[in-house]
Amino acid sequence: MGTIADKARVLYLLLLIFFLLTVGFFIFDYYGLIDADEIFPALAKKPSLVNWDKESPTEVEKLEYKKAREKLDEEIAEIEKIRQALDEEKDKILAESEKLSEMKKSIQDKETQLALNKKDRENRESKIKVLANKIANMPPTKARDILVNWPDQDIIDVLKQMDKDAEEEGTNSITTYLLTLFEKERAAVISNKWLDHEADRIPEENVSKIPE
C-alpha cells in the first residue's frame, strides 16, 4: 500500500509540475519573454481567413458599377440634350403657329372689311341709282338747287350714273346742261374732279391713246 501511495504522490507531483510549467510557458509567451512559435511551431497562430461579406461588392463589381453609372449619366445627359432640343422645336412651332394665327386673323379681318366695303359700295351704288333717276326726272333748275348743296363727289357719282342710265336707255343725258346751271367756279371744280377721277381709271397702256 505504501508503494501505491508513493507512486500516487509522485504522479500528482509530476502533474503539478507539468501544469505549472505549462502555465508559466504561456505566461512567458504572453509577456514576450519567450517565443512559443519558435519552441513549438505546431502552436504557431495561423492567419485567420478573410470572411468576405457576400453582400459587399468586390473591386471588380465596384469598377463595373462605376462604368455603369458613368454610362447612365451619359444617357441622362443625352436625354436632357434631346429634351432641350424638343423644347426649342416646340417654341419654334408655337411661334410659327402664333404667327400663322395672326396672319389668318389678319386675312379674315381683311376679308370681313372687304365684304363690308363691298356691301357699303353696293348700298351706295343702289342709292346713287335711285337719286340719279329722281334727279333726271326733275326740272333742271330744281335738280340744280338740290345738287348744289351736296358734296362734290356725290354730285359726280350721280351725274355719272345719269350718263350711264341715259346710255343704256338710248337717250341724251342732261348732265352737261345741269353743270352749266351751277356757278362757273363750282362747275369748274366738279368738272376737274370728274376728269381726274376718270383719268385714274384709264389703264396705263391706254394713256397714249388719249387725244391731246
List, for residues 150-207, the tens digit of each pLDDT value. Answer: 999 999 999 999 999 999 999 999 999 999 999 999 999 999 999 987 766 544 444 3
Residues 108-152 have pLDDT tens digits of 888 888 888 888 888 999 999 999 999 999 999 999 999 999 999
Note the Cα 210 to chain centre separation in Å: 58
In a domain, 172, yes or no: yes
In a domain, 177, yes or no: yes
Which residue range forms the structural domain that includes residue 11? Answer: 1-46
CATH number, domain containing residue 129: 1.25.60.10
In a domain, 190, yes or no: yes
In a domain, 202, yes or no: yes
In a domain, 90, yes or no: no
Q: Which residues contact 172 (CB under 8 A, 6 or more apart)?
A: 166
Total domains present in the chain: 2
* C-alpha pair distances (Å), 67 with each of 26, 92, 117, 191: 53, 37, 74, 95
